[in-house]
Structure 1
Amino acid sequence: MSSDSGGLVGAVASNPFAGEWNWRAGALAGFLAAVVAGVAVSVVRLETLRLAVAGLYGFEGSLLAGWVAHLVHGVVFGLVFAWVLSDPGFYHLADSWWKTLLAAVAYAVVLAVAGAGIIMPIWLGLLGGPALGPLPYVTWSLFGWHVLYGVVLGVAYPVVEHRVAPDR
């Protein structure tokens, strides 16, 4: 670890152009972030998981389906985040914990607006699910849940990435 960079993350320190995708770290960090954000959703507005998230897959009303879908989404988006960080053009985003945190929060804001604010309402509308409102449909709570996901993802990813070697 280098003291001048705030602590280099994983393989980036040795070769920033290696481009190794640490999918395990992305999946685990995404899962942890989804659990924390899911608890927040459950506390603030449980029907979001039961109706909207479960409704994406035709299981409207099922809390279990909502949780499973939410966790799968969190893992998939964690994988995508790790993949983006593995791009040699973005190596600088993973060379310190605070840059990774900021990148994860920015990524989560994009997920909130594009994913939950635009794609999700259209998808639900196509399935005959609940109407959410005008596009983009982004409430303060939805925005906050996604920022929380980004914060946990951004904190967890460097920790997990440092401990879990990418598949070679």
Structure 2
Amino acid sequence: MWAFEPDVLAAAIPAIYGLEPVGVVGWTVHIAHGVALGIVFGFLVTRQPILGIVKTTVETDVLSRTGVMSRVVAAGFVFGLAIWAILPLIVLPVWIEALGAQAAEDFPGAAVESLLGHVLFGIVLGLVFAATIDLGDRPARSPFEE
């Protein structure tokens, strides 16, 4: 975001919280968002329904060749895509509308840079999580098996 939309980072992000765009306020707020979303990802991917799916032995040729780590990275990709679809595209416009028209001018719409940034965030998050957390090497039973 710093490389593609520095004005959004410097001015618009602090504005949605009613803060002045001083120094690294926007950067700090955006990093705090990333930390909170990383915690949410870690919480979700370690819950049994999702972890069970990630660790399930599958009978599809392509998926059977992927390991748990690859699936966690894929889950990160999906998480990044979901963040982009939910937060900037749905929640943010409603929040900006509540703040007034002046704040709305600072935010781009469904920008490709935003999509790429959120997907990259999810992939890196999945990579870091898969590399640092012990998810066990034993596959889980399929959630559809009894």
What is the TM-score normalised by the length of structure 1? 0.64
SS in 2 for 1:58: coil
Q: Does 1:64 align with 2:36?
A: no
Which residue matches 1:85?
Answer: 45
Question: In structure 2, do the counterparts of structure 1 residues 132 and 145 end up closer, same or farther at CA, with 3 Å as the change threshold?
Answer: farther
Q: Quick one: percent identity of the two aligned structures?
A: 24
Query: Partners in 2 of 1:51 and 1:88 — Cα distance?
Result: 40
- List alignment gaps of at least 5 residues for structure 2: 56-67, 135-146
Aligned length: 119
Cα deviation per residue 1:88-126 (whole Å; 9 max; x = unaligned)? 111135541111111111111111011011111221221
SS in 2 for 1:43: coil
SS in 2 for 1:77: helix
Which residue matches 1:138?
Answer: 110
Which residue matches 1:114?
Answer: 86
Which residue matches 2:58?
Answer: none
- List alignment gaps of at least 5 residues for structure 1: 1-40, 163-168
Larger radius of gyration: 2
Query: Partners in 1 of 2:103 and 2:30 — Cα distance?
Result: 17
Pick from 53, 59, 65 the counterpart of residue 13 of structure 2.
Answer: 53
Which residue matches 1:161?
Answer: 133
Query: Partners in 2 of 1:64 and 1:121 — Cα distance?
Result: 23
Cα deviation per residue 1:49-89 (whole Å; 9 max; x = unaligned)? 12222122112533511111111111111111111112111
SS in 2 for 1:90: helix
1:111–1:146 CA contact under 8 A, matched in 2: yes
Question: In structure 2, do the counterparts of structure 1 residues 149 and 93 end up closer, same or farther at CA, with 3 Å as the change threshold?
Answer: farther
Quote the RMSD (CA, aligned, Å). 1.9
Report the AA paired with residue 110 of structure 2.
V
Query: Partners in 2 of 1:92 and 1:132 — Cα distance?
Result: 44
Report the AA paired with residue 11 of structure 2.
L
What is the TM-score normalised by the length of structure 2? 0.73
What stretches of structure 1 move > 2 A for 4+ residues in a row? 60-63, 92-95
After the TM superposition, which of the residue ranges 120-129 and 149-158 deviates more from structure 2? 120-129
Query: Partners in 1 of 2:35 and 2:54 — Cα distance?
Result: 19
Report the AA paired with residue 138 of structure 1.
A
